[in-house]
Amino acid sequence: MYDLRDKVAIITGGASGIGLATVEAFLDKGAKVVLSDYNAEEGQKHADRLSDKGDVVFIKADVSDEEEVRSLVEQTVERFGSLNVIFNNAGIGAQGATHELTYEDYHKVIKINQDGVFFGNKYAVQQMKKNGGGVIINCASILGIVGEPTAYAYNASKGAVVLMTKSLALQYAKDNIRCAAVAPGYVESGMVNKEALGEYYDHLVDKHPVGRLGVPDEIAHAVIFIAENEFLTGITLPVDGGYTSQ
């Protein structure tokens, strides 16, 4: 198993939800963590709060901007000396009728969810080849596996992440770089909860055979599993309460 103690990990979208839970999970494993997010205030607040758990720093980055992602990796290496793991988690959701979707709104989703993963993959590989290996974990979604009528752009972006992950795993296995994806179901968060969604919340719960939504810690645990298992690469792991088994 891949020992995460003293390994250097970047978590994008790390200031909330799944990303924040994953930051804490890596710290619990003894890793050195870069918490990266577009929201500087929340990101720095959580990095400061978690500093007593281990070595964690905040670096602001917009994953849709290639230069900011390149700088994120460079700053990480300057701070810690290497990069061993990256979790390309940052993303946004979008719902609506496709015939009313503007190109600008469609491309906003693609830039963050798909281009952001490309940039993270590209610059992580460059550094990991120097290290002699590493682990790249991409955040896909159940909606990268199955369709959703009103999530055209999101489906497109997350479906791309699934196959980008396979391509990267095959291309860099010889360099001792593993790449896999996690595909969360609907997860309780600041925007996905009973109070925010009302009756639609119950509709989402009904889609999950286990009878509830996930929680961020459950997705973070899956990310740790992927990182630690050295015989695992190229897969997309659904953590979805049975959603995609139907």
The ranges assigned to domains in the chain are 8-239
> Has this prediction a pTM greater than 0.75?
yes
* Closest to 178 in 3D by CA, of 134, 129, 125: 134
d(CA 91, CA 157): 10
Catalytic site includes residue 154: yes
Question: Can you tell me the distance from the alpha carbon of 242 to that of 246, in angstroms, rounded to the nearest whole number?
Answer: 7
Give Cα 5 to chain centroid, integer Å.
20
Q: What is the pLDDT of residues 184-231, one digit of tens each?
A: 999 998 878 898 889 999 999 999 999 999 999 999 999 999 999 999
Amino acid identity of 4? L
Residue 36 is predicted with a pLDDT of 98
Question: What does the pLDDT look like over 152-164, one tens digit per residue?
Answer: 999 999 999 999 9
- The H or E element spanning position 226 is helix 216-228
Give me the pLDDT at residue 191, please. 78
Mean of pLDDT values over 15-37:
98
Backbone angles phi, psi at 113, to 5 degrees: -75, -35
Give pLDDT, residue 196. 86
Q: Left (φ > 0), alpha (ψ -120 to 50) or beta: where does 182 sit?
A: beta
Q: b vs e for 82-120, b when ≥16 Cβ sit within 10 Å of the residue's Cβ?
A: bbbbbbbbbbeebeeeeeeeeeeebeebbbbbbbbbbbb
Point out the catalytic residue in the list 123, 154, 186, 243.
154
Cα–Cα distance between 220 and 96 in angstroms, integer?
A: 29
- The CATH homologous superfamily for domain 8-239 is NAD(P)-binding Rossmann-like Domain (3.40.50.720)
Q: Report which of 235, 226, 185 is spatially closest to residue 86, judged by C-alpha positions.
A: 226
